[in-house]
């Protein structure tokens, strides 16, 4: 996530009760996990195994549980629990707050947009023009929705990422600091769940259409004019390019890429990157033609067993 | 969908700005897609490949993008974009309208029926006697629900069909003009989604019981006394006869028929018509006995490979 | 379910219009299905095939459709429809009642707990300290939630069990008399459904984290620090021990046990008890290593067929 403005190392360290190491005026412009950091970002590391990776990453400020000399042009913040410190900074910038109103005062809603009864719209939500948000939908805080978007009833946009760190006393939650951004002309069916990003944004491209009961995980980026049938589940940090079709009940594992124009047949399970322009089937998914052949081969095993008996 | 009364060719043409060709007094009693039209219906065709099919269909009025001579007893409406014209007519008859109330004034609710808080009930909904609609359910406009029906929380009845036409500038939505009709003694679990028909009705027969998180697609017709376990997904235009049991997470593709008394085991994927009275398993689903044998055969491949090595 | 206090055979018989057989002062402290009864419980039996099992069970009072001599220390209640009589007793103790308020007066909500708008909280619900219940969630009556619990929007806790008895005139519903009990530090994602127990309780252990669109069936007991990814479906009466991980879209059949620390990979279907500490895959699920081998074996069938042709 990017901050609203630039802060100094000194300010950031004071929020988390950490000890700044290095130039106190070094700027912080955002915070991110180690694998997605950019210059200006804060990140954290709490295991010696990853110290080197963190120090060599693009991050400008590293929250760390050991006192080291910062690399050239970078700063450290010493903290005995960097994970908790990271969460504290993300929380500092979150617009979530207890609400008494179904529609927050800080939400902006475009001309011609219809909000049906029972729908909740959180702090700092921006909805474009000529949208319909049907009854009993839920839009958490910090969500951006384009023009001509239809969202059906019961759909939940912006719930927290399912993202936990296992520690000795159980799972600790990584606070979700990202948003959900929905393009123009998107339609989302009933009872879907589109989680917010942990540190970046979950994005649904222009013209994409989702059926009912679909799960889209945190930080996942979906291209334009995709079509997902009912009960599809896409995990976190997946990249789905334009014009992809996922048929009903398809599951997609995290951190994958599905190429432009790929078609995945119903109930398939995607466990690897898929090249665009092809059709896939099976769990795990393969090219459909190949998988269909395998299904026929299996039916020939009795014949094989019979022939072997003869010999 | 059927209209509230009979209209003339002249009236219909004027709604869509089309040019009537034929007897201006020819009556229009409804509108439907080409594969389900009946005499008196309007339909549309926009591709020369389907002109003949449309002109020879049971439809009385055809919206078409070419000026032709209408067949005996039929009329045409010339329009350069028949798809958009069709949508305009469906919209003309839809009771959807922006609402400020959770329960619409035009809804009728039978004696002894309990509506729990937070539930939305749209225009022109009819609910029978002695039903319970639990909290935070959503019943869109134009839905008919029988007697002694239980609908659990979060369930959404009557969201739009997932039905799009691919055009050069992306997917265009077919407006849903159908309803949902739910019989007597039906129970529908929590967070289910039952879509309305595109041009006909989605129907759930008397005594059928649905568990939670189930998807039923547009125009699908389900018989009496069926039992569907959680997370079942049924696509659009499926016909499921009486006494069918679908176990958890079963998926059913569109335009199929499942015969009376069929049982489909958990996680199966139904891709073809299934004969009644039998048990099925697998994705794609086969007779369970056959599929179970295949699963055993696969485990014998190492033995086959071993024997072949010996020779 | 356990009663609020002890009742006599005479009182119980009067509620259901049954004929008590035996000592009228015999105490009733609860009611349960035959496979889970304890001393003091009422149970029912309506088929001669199960008479012996019911009479020899731990139950103290048996509702039965034949006049027999009760075993030593036990009582019978003769009723021509024991199933309906059983339902009547469960209903007698249920706190469900029509409500006009989103938050029931009889609910108790701990210090620091945030209830967001649109959420329904039924009769006799107890929520601990420092919880967040997000907008448009639904908590039915008689639910117990611990401290530091997060429940996301659209989630439904305590809908009825999917539990029916087939009778000549269709499916008859077993009234759900159990509760849902959620431990401390649990997080439940958006649009999940956690059904109440039929006669016992559905339980989610401390520290367990559920992603979105997850189904948990009636009377299922889940241990501590489990992790279930999106769209997992667990049927009724399942026992899942501590530290179990179920990846996305896994399905678990009823009446099973999954041992401590087991990991089940995405889209697997669990149809048998699983030993703890191992990783499983497939539908039906096997040890993952074994299943992965089978997937490779299948690809070698063409080679086998080729070789056999040569001979």
- Which domain CATH number covers B43? 3.40.1390.10
Last residue of a domain, one of C29, C57, C92: C92
Instruction: List the end-to-end C-alpha distance of chain B, in Å, as a whole number.
Output: 69
What subunits touch chain C, counting only 3 or more CB pairs under 8 A? A, B
Residue A311's pLDDT is what? 62
Nearest chain C residue to B188 by CA: give it: C162
Same domain, C75 and C125: no
B82 and B191, same domain (yes or no):
no
Q: Is C306 inside any structural domain?
A: no
Query: If you count residue pairs, one on A and one on B, with CB atoms under 8 Å apart, how many are there?
Result: 138
On the question of pLDDT at C61 being above 80, the answer is: yes
The pLDDT of residue C36 is 87
Q: How far is B169 from chain C (nearest CA, A)?
A: 33
In a domain, C23, yes or no: yes
Do A160 and A134 share a structural domain? yes
What domain count does chain A have?
2
Set of chain B residues whose Cβ sits within 8 Å of the Cβ of C140: 134-135, 153
C92-109: pLDDT as tens digits: 888 898 998 999 999 999
How deeply is A127 buried, as exposed, middle or buried, from its count of CB atoms within 10 A (0-12, 13-18, 19+)? buried
Residue B177 lies in a domain: yes
Quick: pLDDT tens for C167-203. Answer: 999 999 999 999 999 999 999 999 999 999 998 999 9
pLDDT tens, residue by residue, B159-197: 999 999 999 999 999 999 999 999 999 999 999 999 999
Residues A58 and A143 grouped into a single domain: no
Inside any domain, residue B118: yes
Q: What's the gap in Å between the CA of B230 and the closest CA on chain A?
A: 12
Per-residue pLDDT, averaged over A81-95, amounts to: 93
B136 to chain A, minimum CA–CA distance in Å?
A: 7
* Other Cβ atoms closer than 10 A to C280: 24
Which tens digit of pLDDT belongs to each residue from C112-168?
Answer: 999 999 999 999 999 999 999 999 999 999 999 999 999 999 999 999 999 999 999
Is C136's CB within 8 Å of A136's CB? yes
Please report whether residue C80 resides in a domain. Answer: yes
Please name the residue of chain C whose CA is at the shortest distance from the CA of residue A161.
C211
Q: Give pLDDT < 70 ranges for chain B.
A: 311
Residue A138: its chain C contacts at CB < 8 A? 118, 134-136, 153-154, 190
Residue B116 and residue B256 in one domain: yes
Which of C44, C62, C92 is at the close of a domain?
C92
Q: Is residue C225 part of a domain?
A: yes
- Give the domain range for residue B27: 2-93
CA distance B187 to chain A (A): 19
In a domain, C139, yes or no: yes
Q: What is the DSSP string of chain A?
A: -EEEEEEEHHHHHHHHT-EEES-TT-EEEEE--GGG--TTEEEEE-SGGGHHHHHHSS-SEEEESS--PPPTT-EEEE-S-HHHHHHHHHHHH------SSSB-TT-EE-TT-EE-TT-EE-TT-EE-SS-EE-TT-EE-SSEEE-SS-EE-TT-EESPPP--EEEETTEEEEPPP---EEE-TT-EE-TT-EEPPPSSS-EEE-TT-EE-SS-EE-TT-EE-SS-EE-TT-EE-TT-EE-TT-EE-TT-EE-TT-EE-TT-EE-TT-EE-S-B-TT-EEETTTTEEHHHHHHHHHHHHTHHHHHHHHHH-
Mean pLDDT for all residues in chain C:
96
pLDDT of res. A308: 84
Whether A197 and A237 map to the same domain: the answer is yes
- Residue C64 has a pLDDT of 97
Provide residues of C within 8 Å CB-CB of chain A.
114, 116-118, 134-136, 150, 152-154, 185, 187, 189-191, 206-207, 209, 211-213, 224-225, 227, 229-231, 248-249, 266-267, 283, 295, 298-299, 301-302, 304-305, 308, 311
User: Both B187 and B44 in a single domain?
Assistant: no
- Are A187 and A167 a contacting pair, CB within 8 Å? no
Q: pLDDT tens for residues A97-150? A: 899 899 999 999 999 999 999 999 999 999 999 999 999 999 999 999 999 999
Based on the residue annotation, tell me whether C134 is a catalytic residue of this protein.
no
Residues B113 and B81 in one domain: no
Query: Chain-wide mean pLDDT for chain A?
Result: 96
To test the contact with chain B by mutation, choose from C193, C211, C250 the residue with the greatest count of B C-beta atoms within 10 A, namely C193
Out of A79, A134, A141, A218, pick the active-site residue: A218
Share of chain C above pLDDT 70, in %: 100
pLDDT, average across residues C7-13: 94
B249–C233: do the CB atoms touch at under 8 Å? yes
Q: Over the stretch C214-259, which tens digit does the pLDDT of each residue have? A: 999 999 999 999 999 999 999 999 999 999 999 999 999 999 999 9
State percent of chain A over pLDDT 90: 90
How far is the C-alpha of A301 from the C-alpha of A298, rounded, in Å? 6
A61 shares its domain with A193: no
Last residue of a domain, one of B93, B128, B152: B93
Model confidence at C311: pLDDT above 70: no
Which pLDDT belongs to residue A307?
87
Q: Please indicate whether, in this complex, the C-beta atoms of B266 and C267 are within 8 angstroms of each other.
A: no
- C202-207 mean pLDDT: 98
The CATH number for C148's domain is 2.160.10.10
Regarding whether A208 and A144 lie in a shared domain, the answer is: yes
Contacts with A68 (C-beta within 8 Å, 6 or more apart), sequence order: A21, A51, A55, A76
C51 plus C121 within the same structural domain: no
Q: Do A173 and C189 touch (CB under 8 A)?
A: no
- Cα separation, C38 vs C202, whole angstroms: 18
Counting one residue from chain A and one from chain C, the pairs whose CB atoms sit within 8 A come to: 138
Q: Residue A310: is its pLDDT beyond 80?
A: no
Claim to verify: residue B76 and residue B123 sit in the same structural domain: no
Best mutation target, C230, C242, C285, to test chain A (most A CBs within 10 A): C230
Whether B311 is covered by a domain: the verdict is no
Instruction: Return the closest-CA partner of residue B31 out of B81, B86, B78, B82.
Output: B86
The answer to whether the beta carbons of residues A163 and A202 sit under 8 Å apart is no
């Amino acid at each position: 996530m990017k901050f609203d403005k630039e802060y100094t190392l000194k300010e950031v360290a004071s929020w988390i009760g950490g000890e700044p190491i290095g130039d106190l005026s070094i700027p912080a412009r955002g915070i991110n996990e180690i694998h997605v950091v950019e210059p200006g970002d804060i990140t954290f590391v709490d295991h010696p195994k990853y110290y080197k990776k963190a120090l060599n990453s693009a991050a400008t400020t590293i929250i760390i549980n050991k006192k080291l000399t910062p690399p050239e042009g970078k700063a450290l913040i010493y903290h005995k629990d960097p994970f908790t410190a990271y969460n504290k900074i993300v929380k500092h910038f979150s617009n979530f707050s207890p609400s008494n109103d179904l529609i927050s005062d800080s939400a902006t809603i475009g001309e011609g947009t219809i909000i049906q009864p029972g729908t909740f719209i959180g702090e700092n939500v921006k909805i474009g023009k000529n949208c319909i948000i049907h009854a009993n939908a839920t839009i958490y805080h910090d969500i951006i929705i384009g023009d001509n978007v239809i969202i059906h009833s019961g759909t939940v946009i912006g719930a927290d990422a399912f993202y936990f760190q296992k520690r000795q006393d159980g799972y600790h939650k990584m606070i979700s600091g990202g948003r959900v951004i929905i393009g123009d002309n998107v339609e989302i069916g009933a009872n879907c769940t589109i989680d917010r990003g942990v540190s970046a944004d979950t994005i649904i491209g222009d013209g994409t259409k989702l059926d009912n009961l679909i799960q889209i995980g945190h930080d996942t980026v979906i291209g334009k004019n995709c079509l997902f049938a009912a009960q599809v589940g896409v995990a976190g940090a997946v990249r789905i390019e334009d014009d992809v079709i996922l048929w009903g009940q398809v599951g997609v594992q995290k951190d994958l890429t599905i190429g432009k124009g790929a078609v995945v047949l119903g109930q398939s399970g995607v466990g690897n990157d898929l090249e665009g322009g092809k059709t896939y089937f099976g769990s795990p998914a393969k090219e459909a033609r190949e998988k269909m052949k395998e299904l026929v081969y299996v039916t020939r095993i009795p014949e094989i067993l019979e022939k072997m008996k003869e010999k």
